[in-house]
Structure 1
Amino acid sequence: MLSNFLKAILLTFLVPLATNSYAQESLDETADVPKEFSNFQQEVFDNLGLIFEKNSDELTAIQEKLSENLDIIFDNRSQELTNVQDEVFQNLENIFETNSKELSTVQSELNNLSEQISEIRLELAENKASIVKEAIEASENIVASGIKKSAGSVLYRLDAIEEEMRNLTGIIEELQFYTKNIAFDATNRIGDLEFRITELEGGDLSLLGNSRVIGGSVKTSNTNAELAITEKSNYDNALKLLNENNYELALLEFDKLIKAFPNGPLTVAAHYSKGDAFIGLTAWDQGVNSYLESFSLEPNGKYAQKALKSSYDASLELLKQNDFQVALIQFDKLIDITSDDTFLAGVYYSRGDAFTGMQDWKSALRSYLKSYELESDGNYAAKALKASYQTALMPLNENNFELAIIQFDSLINVIPSGPLLTAAHYSKGDAFSELEEWKAAGKSYLESFKLEPDGKYAAKALMNVGISLGKMQKINEACNILNRVEARFPRNQIVEEAQYEMQILGCS
């Protein structure tokens, strides 16, 4: 069959060549084709047609058989690739399970070593002198191969443990690197297998996407994170030092903890306890900063209210030490981070005390009045009003009468009623009198009298109204007012002063 097919192909190529050659040779002789050649050519074409028709049927059969064989081959290959993929996944799972157990074992050893180091550091802190002595004696045991540990030498025990930790850390890093490489290589291999299977099955390669990353990913939550053993151990050691009043070492341990676990579950507590350590060292300013850092990390957390109160108490210590500028800075920080009116009333009151210490009467009055406005019926209300009046008096005593008038006006606008309001109007009249503004002075004295006609300032306020009228050359009105002083307050010592003023004015 194959030989007939090859003969047909040869005839297909040879006949046209022979025809062309013959046609070229006879072109000049004659245009007529010999009859014998035409018959031969026709016979050849007839034979070729039969051959091609027969071979076409055979080729169709071969093609169908080949297609069936290819389907069988693709099915077998697809099953083999699927088996290979399952085997790869199974091997990878075994590898990761093994590595996970190894890492867990190493982590457990590291945690144990960390606890031992913490205990040794504590021992070092308590027995520093004896340890140094032991270290000196142990130095005699140095040999060519290295340092031998002397019996009971804590320093060399510490060195050995730290060396072991370095070795374990190196092993962990190697395992991590090895595991990452396995995951990366496996991911690539699976992606390649998926590509080949899709290609063999005639699927759409554009729909493959990215291969699933081997090993997956772990999501953690800061809110629900469990305490790491090392972090908890370090915090407990630092807290123990704090409770033993070993503040400097406690600060060092808290700083290490915060640096190692900046977002850990115990970070807020570490900042708060660090503030306690600073307070133990009477470093009030740094203590406040630590408390405020604790508050800022969790404004609604467990330590929030304690941190605010401790910050305020430490700021008060700065105030007692007459460190007014620093105290003001800390009071302002507290004002910026909270909106609790009750708490802020106390802060503003203390802020007023700081300004008073600096003799900044204007700022002091504003702070006292703000304290009163925040909680007009609270613990600081009465104190704030009293302090406001005393602060307003200070410029008057220093002969700064213009500022005194401004201060009294600020006070009068806030005080609703009562003896302090009466006193404020009276003192405002004194400030106007010193400026010889008699009309304004008389109005202030009269307002003081009208508020409390039988009060502490009543008799003197009424007399000063008369004096003010006399200074304004309103003699008759002045005399009438001064006469009313004698009539209304007959037993008051102020009557003699009123009579003297009447004599000066020539009252009858």
Structure 2
Amino acid sequence: MRAMTLSAALLFSAAIPSFAQDASRTQTLADIKTELGQVQGEIDGLRSELKASGAAGLQRAGGSSALERMDSMELSLSHLTDRVEELENKINRVVADGTNRVGDLEYRVCEMEKGCDISKLGATKPLGGGDASTTPSVNAPASDSATDSPDLAINEKSDFEAGKAAYEKGDYASAADLLATFKETYPGSPLMGDAMYYRGDALSKEGDTANAARAWLAGFSADPTGKRAGDNLLALGKALGQLGQTSEACTTLGQVGTRFPGSSAAMEAQTARQNLNCQ
């Protein structure tokens, strides 16, 4: 039964591109993001189940390609989640800009009308309805809570620092183990992008390129717009190239320049693409 469950789940990778098209038109972007998060959780659970089943379970699930297919699913989910977030940000900017323009018109009309008290105009209702206090301003984008005021659990920072310290001392095996425990203990941590970057590099230095790639993928998926996102995506692309997955490597490295133009990661990704003879 477990093998059948895993195989059916892996087949979901082929359906990911049509996910958004098949979703109900009444769903909000927040609903879709929640569902994507739930799918990510299912993938994590299946990965753990697959590893726990041992060699026999891995063979029944499709052999060594099973984990690679799950990685492909995870990367596709990450790209889709990022596209949803991009769309949400664009909509927010349009709403904010439109609301500001309507408010300006109301102010100007009031100035022209006799007896109109500008002080009583109040806040302009945002386009599409909703609460004006929650409408984002195009001139003041929302801050990154993970950077400005992270909400950390007890021992979360110290556990991260312990893994980082082991990495900096060159104890890469311990660093990888500590940061793996951090990932399991603090899912959704604002430090996850950094934690998985260091874990990936530690595993890479230990010669475990495949699991290093998975760590960088997890880091990018956890925070696709954070300060480590470009580094994680770059490292993932390079690792895919080392693993012989040239097509996936070229696509991933190309995304670095698209998502983070002008960054050092983008320039390094361009060099890596040239070395792989990407078209």
Which is bigger in relative contact order (C-alpha 8 A, separation at least 6)? 2
Say whether the fold is shared (TM-score over 0.5): no
TM-score range, shorter chain: 0.3 to 0.5
Bigger Rg, structure 1 or 2: 1
Q: TM (normalized to structure 2)?
A: 0.44
- Larger helix percent: 1
